[in-house]
Amino acid sequence: MHHLIIQYASLLAIILLVVMAGQKIKIAYPILLVLTGLVLGFVPGLSGIEIEPDMIFVIFLPPLLYEAAWNTSWKDFWKWRRVITSFAFLIVIVTAFVIAIVSSNIIPGFTLALGFLLGGIISPPDAVSATAVLKDVKVPKRLITILEGESLLNDASSLVVFRFALIAVTTGTFVFSHAAVSFVIVIVMGIVTGLVVALIFYAVHRWLPTTTNIDIILTFLTPYAMYIVAEEFHVSGVLAVVSGGLFLSARRQSFLTHRSRLQGVNVWEAVAFVLNGFVFILIGLEFPVIIKDLGPAGINPAIKYSLIITGVLIITRLASTYGALLFTIFISKYIKTADSNPGLKGPLLLGWAGMRGVVSLAAALSIPATLHSGAAFPHRSLILFITFTVILVTLVLQGLTLPALIKWVNMPDPDYTIPFEQQKQMVRKKLSKLSLDILENKYASQLKDNDMVKSLKMKLDADMELLNDWEKGDNSHRADDFYRDYRTVINELMTQQRDLLRTLNKKENINDDIIKQQLDLLDLEEEKIRQHFDHREE
């Protein structure tokens, strides 16, 4: 146990160093972590780390899915629901079918059932990889929404395909009509289970006397409860977490306090970052183990099959995205769609962003070593090798080239014609105007007698004046100068205030809790200012 703790602590330190290096050289951290893990896999002391499939499915997958669902905009998700569902279900099934046909024809002794098993494993793209790559480049919001929404659902559809293919391989029997009915039941009941568990946790948050810490701990229990309950009933745990997460996320303002929301976001960001870091570095660490299992004689054919299947996978996704484009144009003649003519650039970027990751890893590792008869599972090592190669190649090849492709395509945002900064100032102005109207119409007497209310109105008046000044196009340079001067002044004030608080804290007659409280308020104010002006700093 002591040795294991040292191993994972060392890995965590390496993850932090690699992520910092990635930020410095502007390369997405999943790519660097996989490559780092690949190198570390040959280092004595770290090469013995093995990945348990249950650890990925039960420990890693529920919180990662829940965090993704929690940060998904339901408004955008619903707007692009048809595209998202077609990518998450139809394209996953088409991809699995194509991979099944190709693999069963090029690999000697590889049956169609094994092909569907492999197709179910490698069909779902990974949103963490794509969003990490897209973080530092400007890309239309719709592409991010579709990629993230797709990844929330495609995990479920691919795992259902994988589950039925695994049954067909291990038992030797497969009835399509039974599988089709079971497919629908697993999906529908997975969603229902997630919503039922979400309602229970909603009631706990809403009507029991919870604190901020209890609220945050409950948010960590929620995805595990959804996943485990669904899996106990043999329905989709992935869809349970996704549906329940989306339900609670859309209602967070009604059952969580402001402190729970603020602290919960910070805790969840840190936890999701660590979990994703471990997953990607473990992918690289496991690859040398798979190579060893193949043996010297099997490595060359395995490389050939892996590269062919990876190429087919990339081409299939690109073809599917353009197929979705053609279908959208056709169906727009009969029903209302979010965009009747999306253009050629979006499908290209969506197709090239299809990197594979954690779900493919977990599914491949969960293949049993033996069949029900006791015989060795056919081609298990080869399936594992192909899966890891697909993850590695798509992450490195597509991940490194995607930013350059985005810049070359230069796709404008067709949904938001008003610039981001202007939208932000417009919202802030409406909020300030609402507050001023309330003060002047409802609290007129307090404005005359209460100095604190007067001070609040003066602050709102100053905000309105500044926002009106920024709206004038001919004053844009002046506004930028004002912004820089303001940041210089406020940074100086906050630095000096912190220094004073630390000096006061050395006096024995000043309570340390008061100093900490004031420091926390300064941190909150600084974060508020950064949120107001962060777009100008980019």
| Count of helix runs (H) and strand runs (E) in the chain | 25, 0
- Region 527-534: what's the mean pLDDT? 70
- The CA-atom distances, in angstroms, between 10 and each of 55, 78, 458 are 19, 42, 54
Categorize the per-residue pLDDT at 130 as very low, low, confident or very high, splitting at 50, 70 and 90: confident
242-282, pLDDT tens digit by residue?
Answer: 999 999 998 888 898 888 888 888 899 899 889 888 888 88
To the question of pTM greater than 0.85 for the whole model, the response is no
User: What pLDDT was estimated at residue 538?
Assistant: 47
- Give Cβ neighbours of residue 435 (< 8 Å, ≥ 6 apart): 460
Specify whether the CB–CB gap between 30 and 399 falls below 8 A.
yes
Q: What one-letter code names the amino acid at 145?
A: T
Angle, helices 176-207/212-232, rounded to nearest 10 degrees: 160
What number is the average pLDDT over the span 460-467?
76
Which of 388 and 327 is assigned the larger pLDDT?
A: 388
> Residue 228 has what pLDDT?
94
**Burial class (CB within 10 angstroms; exposed 0-12, middle 13-18, buried 19+) of 87:** buried
Listed range (214-228, 329-343, 475-489) with the worst mean pLDDT: 475-489
Contact 320, 351 (CB under 8 A): yes
Lowest mean pLDDT across 58-72, 176-190, 306-320, 433-447: 176-190
Percent of the chain whose pLDDT exceeds 70 = 89
Say whether pLDDT at 236 is over 60: yes
CA separation for the pair 286, 310 (Å, rounded): 19
Q: Is the pLDDT of residue 438 over 80?
A: yes
Q: What is the pLDDT of residue 211?
A: 92
CB–CB of 536/483 below 8 Å?
yes
Element (H, E) at 372: none
Cβ pair 149, 88 in contact under 8 A: yes
Residue where the block lists tokens 């395909």: 161
Q: Are the C-beta atoms of residues 159 and 430 closer than 8 Å to each other?
A: no
- Which pair of tokens denotes residue 517? 């409280």
Give residue 303's pLDDT. 92
Cβ count near 426 (within 10 Å): 13
Predicted local distance difference test score (pLDDT) of residue 377: 86
Q: Name the strand (E) or helix (H) holding 103.
A: helix 91-106
Query: Residue 533 has what pLDDT?
Result: 63
Angstrom CA distances, 40 to 67, 187, 387, stand at 29, 39, 19
CA dihedral in degrees (519, 520, 521, 523; nearest 10)?
90
Mean pLDDT of the chain, nearest integer: 83
CB 331 within 8 Å of CB 337: yes
CA distance 480 to 472: 12
